[in-house]
Amino acid sequence: MGKPIDITVYGADQICASCVNLPSSKDTYEWLQAAITRKYGQDHINYVYVDIFSPPEKEKHQQFAQRVVDEEFFYPVVLVDNEVAGEGNPKLKTIYRMLEARGLNTLE
């Protein structure tokens, strides 16, 4: 396995208006981390949570957060190596496929 895979979740404390009855962005972030770790382990994956209303200083996070605030995406938005893997209610199967396409193998 080469360089680590980056999983970034963009979200906010408040649930988006279109996402009523879905988990919060932070809950989705924690759920994804647990599910992915169970299937693939902890090695080779970096997780980042970005609050869209107070993104960190990194320009790429600020720019993408602004796109979410501008309603280009429903949050939470999940990126795998800067590629959108899901939004609003992300699907694990889609994220798993993207991880495996990057060379990640399931635990035995």
Which residue stretches of the chain are H helix? 25-40, 59-69, 92-101
Residue 46 is given by DSSP the state E
What's the pLDDT score for residue 2?
74
What's the pLDDT score for residue 20?
67
Tokens read off for 36: 């992915």
Closest CA to 75 of 7, 5, 24: 24
Question: Which regions in the chain score pLDDT beneath 50?
Answer: none
Q: What is the pLDDT of residues 39-59, one digit of tens each?
A: 999 888 999 999 999 988 999
What 3-state DSSP class applies to 87? strand
pTM: 0.91
The CATH number of 5-101, from 3.40.30.30, 2.60.120.10, 3.90.470.10, 3.30.1330.60, is 3.40.30.30
